[in-house]
Amino acid sequence: MPNYKLVYFNSKGRAEVVRLMFAEAGIEFEDKRVQEEDWPQLKPTMPFGQLPVLYIDDKPPLPQSGAIERYVARELNFDGGSSLAFAYIDMVCNVLEDVGSKVPFMEEDEAKKAAGTKDALENHIYPAFDKIEKKFKEGGEEFLIAKRLTLADLAIFHFSDVARVIDANFITKYPTLDALCKRVAARPSIKKYLENRPKTPL
Ligand SMILES: N[C@@H](CCC(=O)N[C@@H](CS)C(=O)NCC(=O)O)C(=O)O
């Protein structure tokens, strides 16, 4: 196994699904959390001036959370085992990215932030989750895409975890996905990771 170093801020954000894959697979990695005050100095040294970035041995650093997630999923068998399964996994991740990006987390005007969040939930996030819940329930499978845990299950778990910040009861609106998230959280390696990870809301 290569040496992995994942550089991000001290939050779950765009790095947590990768951390969850490493945890589930039992892969040691350096979880480098950059402090806000150190960021201005570090930023120009990053490939595209943003985080996360994954360092893999002495290879050129890999930025972009989506690229990192897909690479790690392939390496550690969270890819569903076929190109088609991987495409469906990609689809789930892209939907989550699309609807998640509608939430104005960085908006400083509180009224605008509240209105933007309401719009994101009602017009983007709830409709997407209604569809995913319906399809998953009809399929009656244990996991979202394949016969085993994939990146898609972990991405849904992570989304539902951080969505609590904008809707405290978010995932309970989707009983089948809620049950999936509970199964994910109960997996021994994930459970241990969740108990020990730094406590951050996002
Ligand atoms: N598309 C990129 C977006 C990366 C991104 O927006 N990173 C933010 C943190 S979530 C960042 O580095 N912000 C600090 C900055 O841009 O200076 C990805 O998915 O990795």
pLDDT, tens only, 39-54: 999 999 999 999 999 9
Q: Which residues line ligand 1 (CB under 6 A)?
A: 13-14, 43, 50-52, 64-66
The predicted structure's pLDDT at residue 57 = 98
Q: Cβ-count burial of 128 within 10 angstroms (0-12 exposed, 13-18 middle, 19+ buried)? A: middle
Spell out the domains of the chain, with CATH numbers in brackets. 4-78+189-196 (3.40.30.10), 83-186 (1.20.1050.10)
Atom number in ligand 1 closest to CA 97: 19
Give the Å distance between the CA of 69 and the centre of ligand 1.
Answer: 14
How would you list the strands of the sheet with 30-34, edge to edge? 30-34, 4-9, 53-56, 62-63
Among candidate residues 92, 64, 95, 57, the one with its CA nearest the CA of residue 78? 92
The predicted structure's pLDDT at residue 184 = 98
Tokens standing for residue 8: 């991000």
Nearest CA to ligand 1 atom 15: 50
Q: Which tens digits make up the pLDDT trace of 164-198?
A: 999 999 999 999 999 999 999 999 999 999 999 99
Q: Which tens digits make up the pLDDT trace of 111-169?
A: 999 999 999 999 999 999 999 999 999 999 999 999 999 999 999 999 999 999 999 99
Tokens standing for residue 14: 């765009």
The predicted structure's pLDDT at residue 84 = 98
The predicted structure's pLDDT at residue 104 = 97
The predicted structure's pLDDT at residue 133 = 98
The predicted structure's pLDDT at residue 45 = 98
Residue 4: strand pairing partners: 56
Nearest CA to ligand 1 atom 9: 51
The predicted structure's pLDDT at residue 18 = 98
